[in-house]
Structure 1
Amino acid sequence: MTLANATRSELTKQFTTSMWWILGIVLFLYVGATAAGLAATFGALANGSLGGEASNTPALPAAALPPVIYSIATAVGYVFPLLIGTLLVTGEFRHKTLTPTFLATPRRGIALGGKLVAGAVMGTLYAGLALVAAVGSGAALLALFGIDTQLTEPATWALIGRMALAFVLWVFIGVGVGTLVRNQIAAVVGVLAFTQFIEPILRTVGGFVDGVSNITRLLPGASSDTLVGASIYTNLGGQAPQGALEWWVGGLLMLGYAAVFLVAGWLVSWRRDVS
């Protein structure tokens, strides 16, 4: 079987189940609600709508608001492409469909390659949903408060392009995790525990302890923020943090994580016999 046929098979598996659109709906609502809420809050602070002393010291300057609000798509939504990439592989182990997959595609490298290409398609789809939710709701609320949405600026569209790339890379990391950790429950719990608890705690500690930030900024979520170039977690001061890495470094770090997981999964799990 060719890579094109393997990819077509993987996409058929994805779109014949309900998981992809359930996660898509949750992603859209979650990102849209978060972006709208933050845009309304910071927009009201920036133009003085809330009144009082708070209006004189907005959490973010008006000019810095659009990229931070739009980047909510990746800042809070990255766990969804990571999960879909993980499920793309672990679902085969859980439902014992990997045997017919390998029978149809005996060359396991092509089988894994098909999952990566299919994952890139799914990542692009999820990126579209997240960007429509974040940019659509965020821009609408910012405009309502009289703040320039910056949608006519090339830098904004470059930001959007990098967010789409980040989604694809997160799927690749998820495929690598699923390849390495065969048990679906263990893989999903591990992904959620790391992204929602472990890394946020480490990055919070890094913000207060000297020297730790040099390590925490290399973590997957921080690398994603670096690639995008904006994040609610790193730009609360209205500018990039001191010593911030270039965006392409973040992309290489994410690609490195994906490669490490994929190679480890290939050596430890993917080549093993299945029943």
Structure 2
Amino acid sequence: MRKLVTVRPPWFLLAAAVAIVAVGAGSRIVKHPEDASGAAAHAGLAALFPLVLGIMALAGEYRHRTVADTYLSTPDRARVLLQKFTVYTIVGAGFGIVAAGTAAVIVLAGADGGLPYATLAGAVAWNTLFAAIGVGLGALVRSQVAAIAGALAWLALVEGVAAELLGDDAARWLPFRAATALGGMPGAALSQGTAAAVLGAYALAFIGAAFAMRRRDLP
């Protein structure tokens, strides 16, 4: 945690997350002041940034060749992974809270209705779980560039293609589709509760895979 608050990348990612939410929610409120929920749902899109930050948790150590020092100072790799998952998940929740707060301020300032609390809570959960998934992905792939590029490609392209091939009934269980349902985005095919369970299962799968492969040789 001390490392995260004393280096610049997490703060840059947080600033970018706030900017994305502010622009998206503000634009939605200007065009549709009655759609408080649609504007607040933009807080979930900030989850991209804790996902990237989570990938950097371990993949960044492999990139900068500090992972050997980490494991020498703490030889119990399970403990290292547990600490990484715990800290970065908490930071992901912090990203979600800041993003939800930003959206809430914009909604209160310009929307006709009250705050959509369920949507804002879903956005916080989305940010939290994406941070955990990011840590697992970074631990498995190890290459920071490959992990980030692969995650972005999945979100931007691969899942859309998979949805076309599988059909909507199957595609709603894919991670990004589940995440958008959790965050209250329009057109969601799952309830928030079901979406939370599905995305939580993906996070647990990545965490479990990272622990199962923790004894791999260092590059």
TM-score (norm 1): 0.74
The amino acid across from 2:170 in the alignment is I
Question: Residue 174 of structure 1: CA displacement?
Answer: 0.6
- 1:78-89 maps to which residues of 2 (within 5 A)? 78-89=47-58
- 1:179 paired residue number: 139
Q: How far has the Cα of 1:136 moved from its partner?
A: 1.5
Alignment map for 1:107-122 (pairs within 5 Å): 107-122=76-91
Q: Give how far 1:248 is off.
A: 2.0
| Contact preservation (8 Å) 2:47, 2:96 | no
Task: Give the equivalent residue in structure 2 for 1:223.
Answer: 178
Q: Tell me, yes or no, if structure 1 residue 163 matches structure 2 residue 123.
A: yes
Deviations, residues 7-39 of structure 1 (Å, cap 9, x unaligned): xxxx12222211000011111111101110111
Per the alignment, residue 39 of structure 2 pairs with 69
Specify whether residues 78 and 201 from structure 1 end up closer, same or farther in structure 2 by C-alpha distance, changes over 3 A only. farther
- The structure with the largest alpha-carbon Rg is 1
- CA deviations over 1:220-263 (Å, ceiling 9, x no partner): 111112223x214x1xxxxxx6xx43322211211211222223
* Alignment partner, residue 95 of structure 2: 126
The residue type paired with residue 147 of structure 2 is A
Within the candidate set 139, 153, 167, 1:193 is matched to 153
- The count of corresponding residues between Structure 1 and Structure 2 is 219
Preserved contact between residue 73 and residue 163 of structure 1 (Cα < 8 Å): yes
| Unaligned ranges ≥5, structure 1 | 1-10, 44-61, 235-240
Asked whether the 8 Å contact 1:195–1:221 carries over to 2, the reply is yes
Aligned to 1:95: 64
Partner SS state of residue 130, structure 1: helix
Q: What is the alpha-carbon distance in structure 1 between the residues aligned to residue 178 and residue 43 of structure 2?
A: 15
The 1:129/1:200 distance shift into structure 2, 3 A limit, reads farther
**Aligned equivalent of 1:214, options 157, 161, 169:** 169
Cα deviation digits, residues 77-120 of structure 1 (max 9, x gap): 22111111111111111111111211222211111110111012
Partner Cα distance (1:172, 1:126) in 2: 13
Q: Is the 8 A contact 2:58 2:139 kept in 1?
A: yes
Letter in 1 for 2:182: L
Q: How does 1:135-146 map to 2 (within 5 A)?
A: 135-142=104-111
Asked whether the equivalents of residues 180 and 266 of structure 1 are also in contact (C-alpha less than 8 Å), the reply is: no
Please name the residue that 1:261 is paired with.
206
SS at match of 1:83: helix
- Structure 2 residue 26 is the aligned partner of structure 1 residue 20: no
TM-score by length of 2: 0.91
CA pair 140-200 structure 1, distance change in 2 beyond 3 A: farther
Whether 1:40 aligns to 2:30 is: yes
Q: Tell me how far apart the structure 1 counterparts of residues 162 and 101 of structure 2 sit (CA, whole Å).
A: 30
Q: Deviations over 1:179-228 (max 9, x none)?
A: 1101111001111111123224555x48xxxx700111111111112223
Q: By how many angstroms is 1:138 displaced? A: 3.1
Contact 1:119 1:172 (8 Å CA) reproduced:
yes
Matched, 1:30 2:23: no
Instruction: Call closer, same or farther: CA 1:141–1:224 in 2, change over 3 Å.
Output: same
SS in structure 1 of the partner of residue 32 of structure 2: helix
Aligned mates of 1:40, 1:202 — CA distance in 2: 34
Structure 2 stretches lacking a partner, 5+ long: none
**Structure 1 counterpart of 2:194, one-letter code:** V
The percentage of counterpart residues that share the same residue type is 26
Q: Is the 8 A contact 1:169 1:255 kept in 2?
A: yes
Q: State how 1:145-160 maps to structure 2 within 5 Å.
A: 147-148=112-113, 150-151=114-115, 156-160=116-120
| Equivalent residue letter for 2:21 | V
